[in-house]
A and B are shown apart, each in its own frame.
Chain A
Amino acid sequence: MRAVLLICRKELNAYFASPIAYLLMAFFALIFGFVIFNATTDFLRFSFQMQFQGGGGPMSINDQIITPLLGFSSTITLFLIPMITMRLFAEEKRSGTIELLLTSPITDLQIILGKWLGAMLLFACILVMSMINVALLFAWGKPDIKPVLVAYLGLLLQGGCLLAIGALISTMTKNQIIAGGVTFFVCLLLWLLSWSTANDVGVLPQVINYLSIVTHFDNFSKGVLESKDVIFYLSMIFFALFVTSRAMESLRWRA
């Protein structure tokens, strides 16, 4: 555990010593701020209209602002993940520092877990940027907090999955651009798959739909915490990290 935390701290230092962490946080804050501003003004205009003209159902900040917003965030994170994970292993391989890690008395799994945890913490920091905006909604409205927390948990879990996949891809090359590009492509593919198969009833589309990491976020964004989704995410994270450790092992043998 000590080794895992050590690697994790090193990764966080590296993120925050370079502009990458600040850039990602600023990028996410900007987009999230823009979208929440639009959503809130629409909501307000709509509720004014209803006040004067009457009619319409009950308004809910949760359903009309927060749910679509966090659903949208889950898509945005698909673009952020490759930028977080691309350097994880590729950079160490290029600069040769991987030799230091692999010849130190720690296991491959400790290295992988540490790196993944570091990436996870940066990702959490990015999500925290969006909480500032959401907090404003709580300051002036009375949304239900539980669905919001569930949605954030969903974002974290989905992010964890994609980060683990990104880490896996990063072990396979020395080139950060390739690692980032392939991870981005995979994220995009998962997203597109969830679109195209959503309404199909055949077995294959259903399987693909189930495996598409993005679809499991739907329940979370509605504030529904289902154990099957949590278990899906956790097992995907476990699986991807396990394959990463296998990939590192095989790299040694092929080297």
Chain B
Amino acid sequence: MIKVEGLTKRYARTVAVDNISFEVEKGQIVGFLGPNGAGKTTTMRVLTCFLPPSAGSASVAGFDVLEHPMEVKKRIGYLPETPPVYPEMEVVEYLKFVARLKGIASQAVNGRVDEVMNRCAIADVRSKLIGKLSKGYRQRVGLAQAIIHNPDVLILDEPTSGLDPKQIIETRELIRSLAGDHTIILSTHILSEVEHSCERVIIISQGKLVAIDSVANLTNRLRGSEAVALELEASGGRPNPTEVQQRLETVSGVSRVMMKDSRDGKLLFEVESLQGRQIRADLARTVVNSGWNLNELKSIGLSLEDIFLQLTAAEQKDAGLKETQGVTA
């Protein structure tokens, strides 16, 4: 549905997007993930024909963004980071304007407007001025605007930014309910967002593609290394935390030991293993042999947060880049 090849976008002095390629299949929800300034918005703007690419190509439903912008625009619904609403218009008036702008036939306009207002739960503010709406409502009006012409592709730039937790959940549900009929790309720098709503993740950092894979695969791939939470009982300053740390670090297969917490007579450590090593048994043995009291020992999965940090950190050191890029799905 969406095909991006060697996409590069240069501004006067900086390269915002550097040779990115990816494909998105019909009906998928894809999360576009990266720290602020990674090039997410720029990529989206190229896909929506707002900006022309400096090099490379992008196409939507088989239409190139440079050669057939009209065909692309007809098939795309776009919610920029700040919803593109006119504060002096009423909600209904605005949605009717957008509906006509997107080329919906006059007799179908009212029906479509009612439909998206119900879907985005904004029917109760239909005749309010948009300028008087709260941020959450305004965001939903923005979303209604994006889906009004029932586009094949939805491009949402940080759809939940600035919303309160309840609104975030509602918006996520709304986005998920849109999947299936629509191919959705949503950008975010919040990782849990991707875990909740997306099937696949595209991670970019500093304009470069770092990883592209399904959420599950990405977690699994990086979880070749194991993370273990370890809790010891400690009373009267014994055992000494530094001593424990040093002892744990000597266990074979351990790559990193971090002290997480020490209070109420408890010491909490997080231990990460080297790729493909099982360390729980060895850890337990070491603790018991040292005469410490083991309270708890459990495996914890690396969260997407950790993966993201690992990937982008690796990218910055320019190490491990090719390894992750090779797995382009």
Contacts and interface: CB of A to CB of B under 8 A. Distances in A.
Interface of A: 2-3, 6, 10, 13-14, 17-18, 95-107, 252-255
B89 A105 contact: no
Interface stretch (B71-79, B118-126, B160-168, B246-254): B71-79
A13 B82 CA distance: 22
Contacts of B76: 103
Contacts of A6: 97, 100-101
A14 B88 contact: yes
A105 B97 contact: no
A215 B97 CA distance: 40
Interface of B: 11-12, 45, 48-52, 70, 73-74, 76, 78, 80-89, 93, 97-98, 100-103, 145
A242 to B, nearest CB: 19
Which of B49, B81, B87, B100 counts the most A-chain CB atoms under 10 A from its CB? B100
A102 B73 CA distance: 9
Given A6-B101, A14-B88, A104 B51 contact: no
B84 A105 contact: no
A96 B84 contact: yes
Nearest to B76: A103
Contacts, number: 67
Nearest to B88: A17
B48 A103 contact: yes
Nearest to B77: A103
A100 B73 contact: no
B89 to A, nearest CB: 7
B51 A252 contact: yes
Nearest to A17: B88
Contacts of A254: 12
Given A105-B102, A105-B103, A255-B11, A99 B73 contact: no
Nearest to B100: A6
Among A10, A100, A101, A105, chain B packs the most CB atoms within 10 A around the CB of: A100
Nearest to A249: B52
A3 B145 CA distance: 17
Contact of A96 (B82, B101, B102, B103): B82
A99 B78 contact: yes
A105 B70 contact: yes
A101 B73 CA distance: 10
22 contacts: A6-B101, A13-B88, A13-B89, A13-B93, A18-B88, A95-B84, A95-B86, A95-B87, A96-B81, A96-B84, A97-B84, A97-B85, A99-B48, A100-B80, A100-B84, A100-B98, A104-B102, A105-B70, A105-B74, A105-B103, A107-B70, A252-B52
Contacts of A99: 45, 48, 50, 78, 80, 84
A94 to B, nearest CB: 10
A140 to B, nearest CB: 42
Nearest to B85: A97
Nearest to B69: A105
Contacts of A105: 70, 73-74, 102-103
Contact of B101 (A14, A18, A95, A106): A106
Given A18-B88, A97-B85, A103-B78, A255 B51 contact: yes
Most buried by B among A3, A14, A17, A253: A17
Contacts of A95: 82, 84, 86-87
Contacts of A2: 100
